[in-house]
A = this chain, B = another copy of it.
Amino acid sequence: MGHGGGGALSAELVDGVFAPAFGNPVLAQLADSAVVRLGAARLAFSTDSYVVRPLFFPGGCIGDLAVNGTVNDLAMSGAVPAFLSTAFVLEEGVAMDVVERVAGAVGAAARAAGVTVATGDTKVVESGHGDGVYITTSGIGLVPDGVDIRPQRARPGDAVLVSGPIGLHGVAIMSVREGLEFGVDVASDTAPLAGLVEAMLRVTPDIHVLRDPTRGGLAASLNEIARASGTGVRLTERAVPVPDAVANACAFLGLDPLYVANEGRLVAFVAREHADAVLAAMREHPQGAGAALVGECVEDHPGMVVVSTGLGGTRVVDMPLGEQLPRIC
């Protein structure tokens, strides 16, 4: 299970098995989406499979997740998401009204994100060889001229911005799984982020890095950026927006909110001189109302993420090995 968790074991699978087998320079970028040239167009292209359990959870379902997740991966390259494909693997015996509700959520989320579902596929597997509904979405979008957003572009001195409170998706899933209840209603943050990214790019096309911290949470995303760019990242713990409900749930379960999945948040690396203006633009956008400056990119400890604790100390934020909770997305 750990190999699917978005942490070190996932990276091992990609670096050790898939990258050598498929080996090519585009794949080697290891960004949320690939940026490729096709004719005169510069395109972002991305894919994700969604196997979240349960199918319906507070704040959303596998349908909106599958749309927003791929829309967000495209947006993390600065692309304007345009077209999606959806491929369903249905388990024999799944109720038709479940399929209809999920399909309805896909359609509604696509309309909300301003993308067109252009093509699709459906396969059915025998009962006991699936889990109701799996969805794989892929997406394409145009990357505007002058935009070059990728993890390798993090630079010492960059401000690290987060678009809002973290941990809500992971805690929402936990709240309905395994009978855990935290006494507070927590809803997934699943949302499309392309509009927020557009607003940020209007301030400056020179955003260095964007990432949506899904599986593995903020910790995995920041570690990936630190490694790809050969820089260090220093977070200020009390600057990271953690809702009380998330803090309480994490304390109860012995988890660190930095490792909990998000589905409607982004982390941005921006040159210091643009940081205040970008942060202001984020806060004016509904998806960035809770945006915060949470740290900086540093020359020290390249490839490593540390957090300054409230007590004046620092601790290392490692890449997660596997996954705190399987099948979070």
Name A's B-contacting residues (CB within 8 A): 1-5, 10, 13-14, 17-18, 21-24, 26-27, 33-34, 36, 38-41, 43, 45-51, 82-83, 85-90, 92, 96, 99-100, 103-104, 106-107, 110, 116-126, 128-131, 134, 136, 138, 140-142, 326-327
Cα(A22)–Cα(B111), bound, Å = 9
Nearest B-chain residue to A107, judged by Cβ: B21
A24 cross-chain contacts in B, Cβ below 8 A: 116-118
Whether B124 contacts A17 by the Cβ 8 Å rule is no
Looking at the complex, which one of B26, B129, B326 makes contact with A116 (CB distance below 8 Å)?
B26
A50 cross-chain contacts in B, Cβ below 8 A: 123
A126 cross-chain contacts in B, Cβ below 8 A: 1, 326-327
A21 cross-chain contacts in B, Cβ below 8 A: 100, 103-104, 106-107
Question: Closest CB of chain B to A216's CB: distance in Å?
Answer: 13
Number of copies of this chain that the complex holds: 2
Whether B117 contacts A27 by the Cβ 8 Å rule is yes
Whether B86 contacts A89 by the Cβ 8 Å rule is no
Cα(A180)–Cα(B10), bound, Å = 38
Cα(A133)–Cα(B136), bound, Å = 14
A124 and B39 in contact, given A85-B46, A103-B18, A118-B27 (Cβ under 8 angstroms): no
Nearest B-chain residue to A89, judged by Cβ: B49
Question: Closest CB of chain B to A262's CB: distance in Å?
Answer: 17
Whether B3 contacts A90 by the Cβ 8 Å rule is yes
Whether A87 contacts B122 by the Cβ 8 Å rule is no
Looking at the complex, which one of B4, B107, B140 makes contact with A45 (CB distance below 8 Å)?
B140
Looking at the complex, which one of B2, B99, B103 makes contact with A22 (CB distance below 8 Å)?
B103
A10 cross-chain contacts in B, Cβ below 8 A: 122
Looking at the complex, which one of B5, B41, B46, B96 makes contact with A41 (CB distance below 8 Å)?
B41
Cα(A128)–Cα(B130), bound, Å = 8
Question: Closest CB of chain B to A308's CB: distance in Å?
Answer: 34
Question: Closest CB of chain B to A185's CB: distance in Å?
Answer: 28
A49 and B87 in contact, given A22-B120, A122-B4, A122-B13 (Cβ under 8 angstroms): yes
A45 and B83 in contact, given A123-B327, A125-B131 (Cβ under 8 angstroms): yes
Whether B47 contacts A138 by the Cβ 8 Å rule is yes
Question: Closest CB of chain B to A295's CB: distance in Å?
Answer: 28
Further 17 A-B residue pairs, CB within 8 A, beyond A13-B99, A18-B120, A27-B118: A13-B122, A17-B100, A18-B86, A21-B100, A22-B103, A22-B117, A27-B116, A33-B119, A34-B83, A34-B118, A41-B43, A45-B119, A46-B85, A49-B88, A49-B89, A129-B129, A129-B130
Question: Closest CB of chain B to A57's CB: distance in Å?
Answer: 17
Looking at the complex, which one of B39, B47, B103 makes contact with A87 (CB distance below 8 Å)?
B47
Whether B23 contacts A136 by the Cβ 8 Å rule is no
Cα(A98)–Cα(B82), bound, Å = 36
Cα(A120)–Cα(B23), bound, Å = 12
Whether A118 contacts B26 by the Cβ 8 Å rule is yes
A118 cross-chain contacts in B, Cβ below 8 A: 24, 26-27, 34, 36, 45
Cα(A22)–Cα(B102), bound, Å = 11
A47 and B123 in contact, given A22-B86, A100-B17 (Cβ under 8 angstroms): no
